[in-house]
Amino acid sequence: MKSSAPASVATIVGLVLLSTFLVAQNYPSNVRQKHYQVVALGTLGGTISGASSINNAGWITGSSDLDGNLIQHATLWTPQHTVDLGTLGGPNSAVGWPNHNDHGKIAGFAETPDLDPLNEGWSCSHFFPQPPTGHVCLGFVWQNNGRHGLPTLGGTNGYVTAMNNHDQVVGWAENTVHDSTCTLPQVLQFEAVVWGPNPGDMQQLQPYPGDPDTAATAINDLGQVVGISGLCDIAFGGSSAIHPVLWDKGSVTYLGSFGGSVFNTAAGINNAGTVVGWSDLTGDAVFHAFVWTQNSGMIDIGTLDGDSYSLAYAINDRGQVVGQSLDANFNSRAFLYENGKMYDLNKLVTPGSPTLTYANDINSSGQITGGACTTCTGESIAFLAAPEQQGDVSSLVGASETTRKGVLPERIRQMIQQRHVMGRLN
């Protein structure tokens, strides 16, 4: 199904979202009020979908399975339509990370018709339905129902994560070096890349000293980029993510860790330069979400009560952070972190809402998107959570409410693994 022009989509989305908000009121302090209206988004025919991004124009993007759950396509949700963004000629595609371009452009990754001559697993295959197809995967930019692939550094595959309002796109791409730190089936080295803002522009970002491989995960409107620096490994998680880093004005800064040596990932950055992500604790067995600033360094924001693991995926310009908290059995729930406190989003929604398993992005209006489940026995649905009123949520939380968690089926775990968490979720 084709989408309408970007300007009209943004207008329609804005009007519909406004219609879902309640007029802000001064509620009595002894009355517990819910804070978010949740809308379940459609699919492209399958039973699995997930929303990865919501920009300030209200565009919601992510991925959805087609009928049969064997093929997945990048998806744009509007009030009237669930729009298939297509591929680069191969089977699968996705928007896997927050995109914050408000001018009608979307960045993601997709398979081409060509088969990888080295038969690498590559980064994309961990996100798509299993088993891997063996197709080459490249980053792409979509606009006005058309898409074009982005070049690599001379190697076979590329992967795109994010895009800012100046049309700068970030991700990582293979070069021609056969890297001795790779773990088969991965063979080629990969490096963080900024594509744009002009067609043909392509800048490779330097690794942290001593590391051979890098990957960029997010970029703000100031051109500050965050990501990881480490070894080749399998081009996905593990020792590829030894150092969470910030690239700014030609320099690379190590953001620190909680003591663990792998799975350390900077995942998001806002226009104030505040970074979020996750880091392993000493022993490489437990990872916690973090917030990093130039003044405070890396701060462990913990987990929801009773949980063992957490991951922060995105931060908006108001400093609100969203992500996912998991218990020891990997039962999962979405969280919102603001003003130094982490909240279970399932305690802030209207009755009858699906169980929110992870929150992947939040825009400047506080609208949140991610993945949810209804029966939580194998399906996953993309969701939009729209705030009923602005302001601090602390007075609106019902602490005595029953905690709701979603058991993550194997396929849903694969969707989480796009964020560089490998062995701990298997």
Question: Coil, strand, or helix at residue 425?
Answer: helix
Provide the token pair at 7.
């300007």
What 3-state DSSP class applies to 153? coil
Q: How far apart are CA 269 and CA 280, in angstroms?
A: 19
| Poorest-pLDDT segment among 147-156, 215-224, 355-364, 376-385 | 376-385
Number of domains in the chain: 1
Give the pLDDT of residue 12.
32
Position 379 scores a pLDDT of 84
Q: How many angstroms separate the CA atoms of 269 and 217, rounded?
A: 9
pLDDT digits (tens, 9 = 90+) for 187-214: 999 999 999 999 999 999 999 999 999 9
The CATH number that applies at residue 12 is: 2.130.10.150
Dihedral angle sign, alpha carbons of residues 69, 121, 195, 246: positive
pLDDT in the model for residue 35: 86
State which H helix or E strand residue 14 sits in. helix 6-20
Alpha carbon 51 to chain centroid, angstroms: 9
Q: Is residue 202 part of a domain?
A: yes
Could you list the residue range(s) of the whole structural domain that residue 49 is in?
6-18+33-393+408-425
Asked if residue 398 belongs to a domain, the reply is no
Q: Is residue 245 part of a domain?
A: yes
Query: Does residue 169 belong to any structural domain of this protein?
Result: yes
Confidence of residue 237 (pLDDT cuts 50, 70, 90): confident
Whether 324 shows a pLDDT value over 50: the answer reads yes
When pLDDT is averaged across residues 344-348 and rounded to a whole number, the result is 96
Cα within 13 Å of Cα(157), Cβ side: 26
**Rounded CA gap, 301 and 266, in Å?**
14
Please state, in angstroms and rounded to a whole number, the distance separating the CA atoms of residues 374 and 381.
Answer: 8
Alpha-carbon gap, residue 75 to 94, rounded angstroms: 7
Pairwise CA distance, residues 352 & 344, whole Å? 16
On whether the CB atoms of residues 74 and 57 are closer than 8 A, the answer is no
Q: Distance (Å, rounded) from C-alpha 382 to C-alpha 360?
A: 10
Please give the pLDDT value at position 298.
98
Contact 61, 379 (CB under 8 A): no
Quote the DSSP letter at residue 208: S
Q: Is residue 230 classed as helix, strand or coil in its secondary structure? A: strand
138 pLDDT exceeds 60? Answer: yes
Q: 283 pLDDT band (50/70/90 cuts)?
A: confident
Residue 322, strand partner residues: 314, 336
- Establish if 399 belongs to a structural domain: no
- Segment 369-408, tens digit of pLDDT: 999 998 888 788 999 999 986 555 554 444 335 566 665 5
What pLDDT score does 23 carry?
27
How far apart are the C-alpha atoms of 165 and 347, rounded to whole Å?
33
Asked if the structure places residue 27 within a domain, the reply is no
- Can you give the pLDDT at residue 410? 59
Strands in 72-77's sheet, in edge-to-edge order, are 45-54, 60-66, 72-77, 82-84
Would you say residue 1 lies in a domain? Answer: no
Q: Are 192 and 173 in contact (CB under 8 A)?
A: no
Kindly report the backbone phi and psi dihedral angles of residue 226, in degrees, each rounded to the nearest multiple of 5, phi listed first: -120, 160
Look up residue 313 and give its two tokens. Answer: 């995926």
CB 237 within 8 A of CB 417: yes
DSSP 8-state symbol, 402: P
| Closest C-alpha to 371, from 422, 313, 425, 316 | 313
Say what the alpha-carbon torsion angle 39, 40, 42, 47 is, to the nearest 10 degrees: 180
Calpha distance 384→405 (Å, rounded): 18
In a domain, 403, yes or no: no
